[in-house]
Structure formats: C-alpha cells, structure tokens
Amino acid sequence: MKSLFVIFVVAAAVLGAPSEDVDGRIAGGYDVDIANYPYMLQLEYMDELVCGAILVTPNYALTSAQCLRSRYAEYFLVRAGSATLYEGGQELLIQNIVYHPQFEVSNNNYDVALMLLSGSVSNANPISLATNDDAIVEGASLTVAGWGWEEFVYYTEFSTNLKVVEIPILGNEACSSAYDIVSDVMFCAAYLEATGRGFCFGDNGGPGVINGVLVGVISFGQGCGDGTHAGVLIRVSKVRDWIYNIIGTVDV
C-alpha cells in the first residue's frame, strides 16, 4: 500500500514517475486475517479492484467518492469477509450510491460516498465511527489497510492478501504545507523519512483506524511512503452526521 488515485492516468499524472531509490514495499506492513478487520471490504469494478471500502451497517458501505464517480453502479461488486483478493467471502452488488453533497472533484473535499448494498452482509461486522477528532493528534499511530500496490511501479499488481500498516499522523501545519488543497475536513499521515510504509493506488476508500474506531477514510496522496509526500484522509467526525442521516440509524 502507498499513495493513490482511482484512475491510473490520474495517478500517474499526480504521483509522477516511480522513484528508483525508494524500496516501495510496505516495510513493516503485514498480511492479516479478515477476522481481525471484519469491516474491510473489496470494491471491484468489472472484475478488477479499484478501492477499499468500509462496512458501516450490514447494508451500507462507505468509500471514497472518487472511487465511484464516472462509473456505472451495475458493474461494481463488493466483497465482504475475505482477506484474499478476488476470492471467497460474500459478494454483493450496489443498489444505490449517495455522494456527500459537498464533495468537490477538483480538490477531493468531502471525498466520501455511501453505497447501499444489494443485500445484508452476513459474514462481516460494521465498524464504529468516531464522534470527534480527539484521537487525531500529531504522532498518534494510525492503522490503514488495503489490497493496494505494494510498490509504486506502473502496471504492478495488487496485493493478493489484505495488508495492514501503522503510520503516524502529521500535524496540521505539516499537512497543509504538503498540499494546497487540504481543508479542515482532512488530515494527513505519513513517515517523514523514506520507509516505504503508507498507502497506495488501490487503497483509497479504505479505513484509517485508531483503537478500533474509524477516524478517517483514505482519500489521496503522493509518493508511496517516500518520506516526502503525505497521505490524506477525510475526517469521519466531519461526515458522521451525514452518514447517519442517510443510513437512518438513531443509535449515534
């Protein structure tokens, strides 16, 4: 996993050419059992992984809005309850997509969308949503997960097994200086040295978790853990009310 964009052409343009002096592997990242990350979903489009997704109720999944835009809902497949890419678990179609009303394509602000699934997920468990940003503090360890690229080389392959890595949260100043488009709905996480640890193409829409609570949704970034570029996530606390308004849950 490293930094990412949904469409490969966009990823290439924004991330630039792969760096030859960066290992690119998730050094410190590791394969995990889906039982320990039961909210983690694969989001496939025409039989290819495009993003991760997060189960928030048995019938609704949360992901990055950019993962879904300019695509046909009927060609998506959500796979739950399997750590193995393209295999096993429960397969569901998408019945409806709801984009955050303030989502902006130009700067990825409010880059989240909810997917109403074609059925109820029976082999996975939803994750709790953060009620505030108290856990998002500089230096705190953020757990991110996905099947994204293991090294930033064009036409590389996705990971065949779900991987997880911990990366530190950056302060607001470091985050804002990394990208001009960072808003108060976003936060950054990255190592400030080249470790190869982070998230990459195919990982957006996936979770940023602290102490078992969803605090962020992976949105965009550069450099694939190169120690220079940060990864950006959407603050779940900023979109939580919208989520519950859509899913109709009263136990908030």
Which is it for strands 213-221 and 128-129: parallel, antiparallel or unpaired?
A: parallel
Instruction: Give the predicted TM-score (pTM) of the model.
Output: 0.86
The span from the CA of 244 to the CA of 252, in Å, is 8
Return the bridge partners of 62, or none.
54, 114
Do 194 and 25 meet the contact criterion of CB atoms below 8 Å apart?
A: no
Summarize pLDDT for 22-66 with one digit per residue, the tens: 233 333 468 999 999 999 999 999 999 999 999 999 999 999 999
Q: Residue ranges per domain, the chain?
A: 8-33+129-237, 38-126+239-247
Tell me the pLDDT band of 146, cut-offs 50, 70 and 90. Answer: very high
Q: Do domains 8-33+129-237 and 38-126+239-247 have the same CATH topology?
A: yes
Residues 6+ positions from 59 with CB-CB distance below 8 Å? 116, 117, 119, 120, 121, 247
Summarize pLDDT for 73-107 with one digit per residue, the tens: 999 999 999 999 999 999 999 999 999 999 999 89
Summarize pLDDT for 204-252 with one digit per residue, the tens: 999 999 999 999 999 987 656 555 677 899 999 999 999 999 998 534 3
Burial class of residue 162 (count of CB atoms within 10 Å of its CB; 0-12, 13-18, 19+)? buried
Architecture of domain 38-126+239-247: Beta Barrel (2.40)
Find the mean pLDDT for residues 9-16.
Answer: 31
Architecture of domain 8-33+129-237: Beta Barrel (2.40)
What is residue 81's predicted lDDT score, i.e. its pLDDT? 98
Q: Which of 115-124, 128-137, 175-184 has the lowest mean pLDDT?
A: 175-184
